[in-house]
Structure 1
Amino acid sequence: MGGGGGEDEGTTLEFTPTWVVAAVCTVIISLSLAAERLLHYTGKYLKHKNQRPLYQALQKVKEELMLLGFISLLLTVFQGSIVKICVKESVTLHLLPCSLSEKPSSHDGAESSRAIPETTAHRRLLAEESAISAGYCAAKNKVPLLSVEAFHHLHIFIFVLAIVHVTFSVLTIVFGGVKITQWKRWEDSIAKDNYYTEEVFKPVVTHVHEHDFIKKRFQGVEKHSIILGWLHSFGKQFYGSVTKTDYVALRLGFIMTHCRGNPKFNFHKYMIRALEDDFQTVVGISWYLWIFVVLFMLLNINGWHTYFWISFIPFILLLSVGTKLEHVISQLAHEVAEKHVAIEGELVVKPSDEHFWFHRPQIVLFLIHFILFQNAFEIAFFFWIWVQYGFHSCIMGQVRYIVPRLIIGVIIQVLCSYSSLPLYAIVTQMGTNFKKSIFDEHVQVGLLGWAQKVKQKRELKGAVAGPNQTNSTIDGPSAGVQMGGIGGKEPDNVYLQMAP
């Protein structure tokens, strides 16, 4: 016991003072309980404020933390077995993120370990454990498949990636929500006009090409050139992506299509609820995103500068999404302007899924989810390498590749928060169907319960009628609720059908 520091570093719990064990356990347990209580009371607060979508998003965060805990457990339990997997040295000489010429020799490692102060005892302990596993494989004339230290660093990276992604997603939704909240004054100004049903449908003549919405979205040579139209949509996402005239036109188009009998419908409040619902998807880390992580870690090969080139993927996708959403607004204006010179009543655009990629507005949400994750992946990787290996590490890359990556990451975060997300919030309401967020929470629950009872009633009557009459018409009034979803997920759209 009185030996050198190496023996002390290898001391087991059998010879560790009980007060040290108790103190460490107390700190770890206290921090864990504090984090758990914070999440618990945050959830209670959101439920008290009737913020069900945000509460569900918080549940997603807790699921991710549970997944990380399970990954951590697996890495810890199987660490001893994995580091003892031995392979031929030639297998480990391919697809390296750094050149072998930059690898320190074993002699240099021994000299540096003698010169390192005791503050780096953890690194020396990992080095000793790696030496043990290396010795185990050396006896077989092989090398470990993965060293203890590499195993430990991989463990940290997975944790950092998940935390950064959740943090960036929350910041994007918060900043984007602030931008969308500013539109409330437009909603309030419309409400102040005190539109009554008879006034909305009052037979006034509107000259289409003199309307502000048409003049701003259907102007100049753009109406004769598809290319110029797309270029205008590309540039529009950087300045004044949504104006008041856009908001008023899209709002009226939505109301006249989906709730014609309620011209005083609060469109802004509905948008906020829909965005909160979508936040549940954005904040999660889906299985296909983990596949993306594994794929690009595989491609992080010396000289390829993979992490520089993949930083352009979310940037290009974000510009494409912004351009497409702006173009959808322009298409809505073009449809009206090309068909009419003057119309009776207010100018009303016609929402339709045909304006979106593959007629699926949900694809935009999927792309935003991927963009946010990829950007978080880039930033998390940078800070992980910086802290773990240092700024001048070979795996970090050259400065001329690092700086553009960071600049692109900042641009993506700002542009997504203040332009793309607000655009998504309003433009995706221009699909053929409205989202279930149009109903308040208690109405949603009532409709689902009602539909379930009707379904059970029909099944019961069908069973009583017998197999020969299961397809016959059931007497009396009936009603059905159809929920349109994708891929087994919670449905995004609600369709009501009443059968006499």
Structure 2
Amino acid sequence: MAFISAVATQHYHHSAETLPTSTTNNRVKYVFQCQSKRAKRSLEETPTWSVAVVFFVLVAISIVIEHLIHVVASWLKNKHKRALYEALEKIKSELMLLGFISLLLTVGQDLISKICIPKSVGNSWHPCQKDRFSDSEYEDSCAAKGKVQFVSAYGIYQLHIFIFVLAVFHVLYCIITLGLGRLKMRKWKAWEDETKTTEYHFYNDPHRFRFARETTFGRRHLSFWSKSSSLLWTVCFFRQFVTSVAKVDYLTLRHGFITAHLAPQSEVRFDFQKYISRSLEDDFKLVVGISPVLWFSAVLFLLANTHAIALIFTHPPPKKNGADSEFQIMQIILLVGTKLQVIITKMGVRAQEKGVIRGIPVVEPGDDLFWFNRPRFILFLINFVLFLNAFQLAFFMWSWYEFGLRSCYHKHLEDGWGLGFQGTKFCYNAYYGHLRFIIQFLCSYVTFPLYALVTQMGSAMKPTIFSDQVATALRNWHQTAKKHPKHSTPFS
């Protein structure tokens, strides 16, 4: 695989000698001192056996990873998991894109490092204070021209390592997202099985008349707070932490979906939980993708990591410098979860307008309940939160490894919480790790499955209503019909 080979080759090129210390100044000094003293050996001066060993290890690792991906793809095909197979292909495409970026950095390293810019431009937009490295001594090929390098070779190498870390965290977050989502849906299976029992149909006799407010669904959603917009959003905000998907909500939405889109006799035969699971997998292939908008947000993150600016994409700055981006990301996912809860309650309010109902309350689907009449917009927000959370955690781990917690990327550790560096370090690690885990957990275990359920209440029915075998048969039939159109009819 080009990505693994490019990263390992670049790391081997810059790590032939062990750096004596982890501090930023000494690492930079040491690397460029080694370069000035011609410490790097070329392949002409390197034993062939060491070159062969490095080459063999890189190829072996690449082949093993490629084989594992092939095994997973074959298993998904055999299990007729078309959506997950497409998601795997999309992950491979994203890794290939990162591999190409890594390869371009390797090939263009010398060319980029030879670009010279004026000192006035090079001394702007630093992540650290201007005088932090004023005494640093390192070789700059542009110094003779009175200029500075656009990006040094060592800086390109560090960026190279960051791309590798980003790829690892992107794949890891994708696996966690799907795993937690399916874990949440597993408990819905028992509710689905209950709809096949005699007791369920007796209790929800479609010939029995009831007031909508007296049903279990009505008692949960139809109260004094549902009449006030502010109280409605407040209750729905806290509800996502307790029972994001209650049993009565699942059964009512199931009944509303079947009533709107299927025949009445499908109430017993239709497996709504399996349909939701297929819809989750279908949405997952969109969540794992990285759109141009997300790449642009990543560029803004890197651009805004400067001492002079505190934007939404920056790391947690000192208290005096502004808001915390982690809490802003959490606010987005909490807003999405609250909106989904509000949609369920509003469907209950609509059902109440009928007064008297028969059997289970019938909630009416509609895109008008969603922001901009677009249910997919919520999926974009979920995708945005997952990507940005993975990106920022990857950036944090990379900057910790490359520069340590005393670097200017973690300036608030020095300005921060009045506990001394060691105490602040412990508190910050606990704070940062737990907050990232909470965001990932809320997004994957609470919001994403809730989205898969509530979006079935849109105006349109998803193609995942058909099983993978039926969907494949329909696509094949459609392709065959296009290739062999009728040229004549019995009446021609």
> Could you say which TM-score interval applies, normalised by the shorter chain?
0.7 to 0.9
Pair 1:381 & 2:395 matched: yes
| Aligned partner (choices 223, 228, 235) of residue 226 of structure 2 | 223
Asked if the contact 1:206/1:347 (under 8 Å) is kept, the reply is: no
Partner of 1:422: 449
**Inter-partner Cα distance in structure 2 for 1:199 and 1:259:** 22
| Aligned partner (choices 431, 439, 449) of residue 458 of structure 2 | 431
Partner of 1:492: none
Partner of 2:124: 94
| Aligned partner (choices 77, 81, 93) of residue 51 of structure 1 | 81
- Report the RMSD for the aligned CA atoms in angstroms: 2.5
Partner of 1:138: 143
1:51-200 map, 5 Å: 51-103=81-133, 105-107=135-137, 131=139, 134-135=140-141, 137-193=142-198
| Aligned partner (choices 318, 323, 348) of residue 338 of structure 2 | 323
Asked if the contact 1:230/1:327 (under 8 Å) is kept, the reply is: yes
1:361-380 map, 5 Å: 361-380=375-394
**Inter-partner Cα distance in structure 2 for 1:190 and 1:199:** 11
- Secondary structure class of the residue paired with 1:343: strand
1:296-311 map, 5 Å: 296-305=301-310, 306-308=314-316, 309-311=324-326
1:103 is matched by which residue type in structure 2? F
- Residue 311 of structure 1: how far off its partner (Å): 2.3
Pair 1:270 & 2:275 matched: yes
**Inter-partner Cα distance in structure 2 for 1:162 and 1:422:** 25
- Secondary structure class of the residue paired with 1:10: coil
Partner of 1:290: 295
- Secondary structure class of the residue paired with 2:245: coil
The change in CA–CA distance for 1:50 and 1:78 in structure 2 (over 3 A counts) is same
Asked if the contact 1:378/1:409 (under 8 Å) is kept, the reply is: no
**Segment drifting more, 300-309 vs 61-70:** 300-309
2:372 is matched by which residue type in structure 1? F
Partner of 2:246: 243
Partner of 1:207: 211
- Structure 1 vs Structure 2: percent identity of aligned residues? 41
**Inter-partner Cα distance in structure 1 for 2:62 and 2:483:** 45
The change in CA–CA distance for 1:200 and 1:456 in structure 2 (over 3 A counts) is farther
Partner of 2:261: 258
Structure 2: any 5+ residue segments left out of the alignment? 1-32, 317-323, 418-427
Asked if the contact 2:210/2:357 (under 8 Å) is kept, the reply is: yes
Deviations 1:50-75 (A, max 9, x none): 22221211111211221122111111
- Residue 289 of structure 1: how far off its partner (Å): 1.1
Deviations 1:155-181 (A, max 9, x none): 111221232122112202201210111
Deviations 1:112-150 (A, max 9, x none): xxxxxxxxxxxxxxxxxxx3xx23x22322211110111
- Secondary structure class of the residue paired with 1:206: strand
- Residue 191 of structure 1: how far off its partner (Å): 1.5
Asked if the contact 1:170/1:283 (under 8 Å) is kept, the reply is: no
- Residue 362 of structure 1: how far off its partner (Å): 0.9
Partner of 1:128: none
1:94 is matched by which residue type in structure 2? S
TM-score by length of structure 1 reads 0.81
- Secondary structure class of the residue paired with 1:44: helix
2:445 is matched by which residue type in structure 1? Y
| Aligned partner (choices 383, 388, 408) of residue 435 of structure 2 | 408
Deviations 1:356-385 (A, max 9, x none): 111111111111000101111121111111
- Residue 457 of structure 1: how far off its partner (Å): 6.8
Asked if the contact 1:314/1:370 (under 8 Å) is kept, the reply is: no
**Inter-partner Cα distance in structure 1 for 2:490 and 2:221:** 52
- Secondary structure class of the residue paired with 1:139: helix
Partner of 2:354: 340
- Secondary structure class of the residue paired with 1:256: helix
**Segment drifting more, 306-315 vs 203-212:** 306-315
Deviations 1:63-99 (A, max 9, x none): 1221122111111111111100011111111111101
- Secondary structure class of the residue paired with 1:313: helix
Deviations 1:399-433 (A, max 9, x none): 34956544432221121122112211211111111
The change in CA–CA distance for 1:475 and 1:405 in structure 2 (over 3 A counts) is farther
Pair 1:394 & 2:394 matched: no
**Inter-partner Cα distance in structure 1 for 2:40 and 2:445:** 53
Aligned length: 433
1:469-484 map, 5 Å: none
Partner of 1:280: 285
- Secondary structure class of the residue paired with 2:210: strand
- Residue 203 of structure 1: how far off its partner (Å): 2.1
Deviations 1:287-318 (A, max 9, x none): 22111111121111115453223323321110
**Inter-partner Cα distance in structure 1 for 2:260 and 2:197:** 22
- Residue 33 of structure 1: how far off its partner (Å): 0.8
The change in CA–CA distance for 1:301 and 1:475 in structure 2 (over 3 A counts) is farther
Pair 1:12 & 2:12 matched: no
- Residue 446 of structure 1: how far off its partner (Å): 2.7
**Inter-partner Cα distance in structure 2 for 1:84 and 1:381:** 26
Structure 1: any 5+ residue segments left out of the alignment? 110-130, 465-473, 477-500
- Residue 341 of structure 1: how far off its partner (Å): 2.3
- Residue 216 of structure 1: how far off its partner (Å): 0.4
**Inter-partner Cα distance in structure 2 for 1:334 and 1:207:** 13
1:252 is matched by which residue type in structure 2? H
- Secondary structure class of the residue paired with 2:241: coil
**Segment drifting more, 296-305 vs 87-96:** 296-305
- Residue 277 of structure 1: how far off its partner (Å): 0.9
**Segment drifting more, 146-155 vs 223-232:** 223-232
Asked if the contact 2:81/2:468 (under 8 Å) is kept, the reply is: no
**Inter-partner Cα distance in structure 2 for 1:98 and 1:202:** 69
Q: Which has the larger radius of gyration?
A: 1
**Inter-partner Cα distance in structure 2 for 1:312 and 1:475:** 69
- Secondary structure class of the residue paired with 2:127: coil
1:72 is matched by which residue type in structure 2? S
